[in-house]
């Protein structure tokens, strides 16, 4: 799994992650298109990376839903064993309305569908290979799952992204799209470029394109023509980066900036970033609602608890990342009832905790104070910067004033460094009359878009 999720059995997962890091090479041949990243700005003599409008809009989404379904679903496997013919797969109850409903219930604002995984099977009727949905019994060979999902997403105003694996076992192609037989490389590049063109030109606007394992050849012309506003995961045109794990956690501090010019895109992997970097490359955090990416007959007991999912949210979205949480349809084509229920519980709990703040403010400058109309017990704050002006905050503290305390008496509740798009700070329930965000180090004038307090009650 290069950067994230290319589902692979536990043993294979480790090697896959390693492969991913080495596979993220910037494309050699054809001539690469520069990454679609914004030029930095200068503030008080410092270089500050800033997001493109598309990156800023993507980060505001917060949560997305990944959907993994492939021959592995019929194999109890995380990697395609190539032992299941297309004729053996018939998800006859498949309902993309249900998929979108599950996404909505958990608060997801976009879906990334695995239209082609590493085995090479395609869920749309491609002209490039017989290993595709047309050769399954699904809808009498007339099915097109990507078209069905695109229509459901349009109906519900859900954004859609697509995962199309450069690796392709059916054609003896390795990670990154590298042919085992070098004489077949050009042929496969033509095949893959045709697949990508089909996917990006037939199904409406894509807001994200996933190249798991990256790409060793360039497809920038296709992206520019058919998906100019899409976020791109890995490859020479990457506009987002992998957090470096599949646990749903962003380690801190999680700066959005990186220094352009690395030799491998794998060098950009990881949560930390670099506050002095010159390009904005935010974290996508891929994780699973079960222990595996694909449904298996024996993994129902691995469904994550509500507490585990909330912890995941607070340590991913709450640290500036975008959480891409996987749900996996079973062989019928439906997301299992228990998984759908848990996803809804997760969405409801996040809304309960963070839907409406007890009090909030915004503005410019180093000090932001919340004065409550009556003392209240609080246990969370959310801080967000206006990221269009760059990550300016470098060090901050959260302080509270207890009811009846002297005007100069403040107690520190939390402290940190990186803020960016969102930072959730958790602390022990504390009764306060005032709460203060004090920025003690910054580049230029801090621009705080949100300083909000909450009573999560946990």
Write the pLDDT tens digit of every residue in 356-396.
999 999 999 999 999 999 999 999 999 999 999 999 999 99
> For the segment 158-208, what is each residue's pLDDT rounded down to a tens digit?
999 999 999 999 999 999 999 999 999 999 999 999 999 999 999 999 999
> For the segment 24-37, what is each residue's pLDDT rounded down to a tens digit?
333 333 333 444 79
Q: What percent of the chain has pLDDT over 90?
A: 87
pTM of the model: 0.92
Q: What percent of the chain has pLDDT over 70?
A: 91
Q: Where are the alpha helices (DSSP H) in 136-269?
A: 145-156, 185-202, 220-226
- pLDDT class of 340 with cuts at 50, 70, 90: very high
Give the β-pairing of 208-210 and 231-233: parallel
> For the segment 97-132, what is each residue's pLDDT rounded down to a tens digit?
999 999 999 999 999 999 999 999 999 999 999 999
More confident residue, 16 or 257: 257
Sign of CA dihedral 409, 412, 418, 419: negative
| DSSP line for 40-71 | PEEETTEEE----HHHHHHHHH-EEEEE--SG
């Amino acid at each position: 799994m290069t950067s994230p999720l290319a589902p692979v059995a536990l043993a294979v997962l480790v090697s896959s992650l390693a492969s991913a890091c080495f596979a993220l090479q910037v494309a050699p041949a054809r001539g690469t298109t520069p990454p679609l990243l914004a030029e930095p700005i200068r503030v008080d003599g410092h270089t500050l990376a800033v997001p493109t409008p598309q990156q800023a809009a993507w980060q505001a989404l917060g949560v997305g839903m990944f959907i993994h379904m492939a021959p592995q679903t019929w194999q109890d496997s995380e990697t395609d064993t190539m032992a299941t013919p297309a004729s053996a797969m018939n998800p006859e109850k498949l309902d993309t309305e249900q998929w979108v409903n599950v996404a909505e219930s958990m608060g997801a604002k976009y879906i990334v569908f695995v239209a082609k995984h590493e085995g090479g099977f395609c869920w749309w009727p491609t002209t490039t290979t017989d290993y595709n949905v047309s050769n399954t019994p699904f809808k009498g060979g007339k099915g097109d799952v990507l078209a069905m999902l695109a229509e459901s997403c349009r109906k519900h105003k859900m954004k859609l992204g697509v995962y199309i694996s450069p690796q392709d076992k059916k054609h003896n192609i390795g990670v990154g799209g590298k042919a085992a037989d070098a004489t077949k490389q050009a042929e496969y590049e033509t095949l893959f470029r045709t697949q990508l063109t089909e996917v990006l030109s037939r199904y409406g606007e894509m807001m994200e394109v996933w190249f798991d394992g990256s790409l060793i050849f360039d497809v920038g012309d296709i992206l520019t023509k058919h998906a100019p506003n899409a976020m791109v995961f890995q490859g020479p045109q990457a506009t987002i980066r992998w957090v470096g794990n599949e646990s749903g956690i962003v380690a801190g501090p999680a700066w959005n900036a990186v220094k352009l010019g690395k030799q491998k895109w794998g060098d950009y992997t990881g949560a930390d970033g670099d506050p002095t970097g010159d390009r904005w490359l935010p974290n996508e955090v891929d994780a699973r609602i079960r222990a595996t990416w694909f449904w298996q007959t024996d993994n129902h007991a691995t469904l994550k608890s509500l507490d585990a999912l909330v912890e995941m949210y607070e340590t991913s979205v709450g640290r500036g990342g975008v959480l891409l949480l996987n749900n996996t349809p079973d062989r019928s084509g439906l997301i299992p009832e228990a998984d759908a229920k848990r996803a809804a519980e997760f969405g409801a709990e996040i809304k309960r905790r963070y839907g409406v703040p007890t009090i909030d403010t915004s503005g410019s400058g180093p000090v932001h104070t919340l004065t409550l109309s009556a003392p209240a017990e609080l246990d969370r704050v959310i801080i967000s910067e206006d990221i269009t002006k760059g990550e300016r905050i470098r060090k901050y503290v959260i302080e509270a004033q207890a009811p009846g305390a002297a005007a100069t008496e403040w107690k520190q509740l939390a402290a940190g460094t990186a803020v960016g798009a969102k930072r959730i700070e958790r602390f022990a329930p504390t009764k306060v009359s005032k709460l203060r965000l004090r920025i003690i180090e910054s580049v230029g004038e801090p621009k705080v878009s949100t300083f909000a307090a909450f009573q999560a009650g946990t």
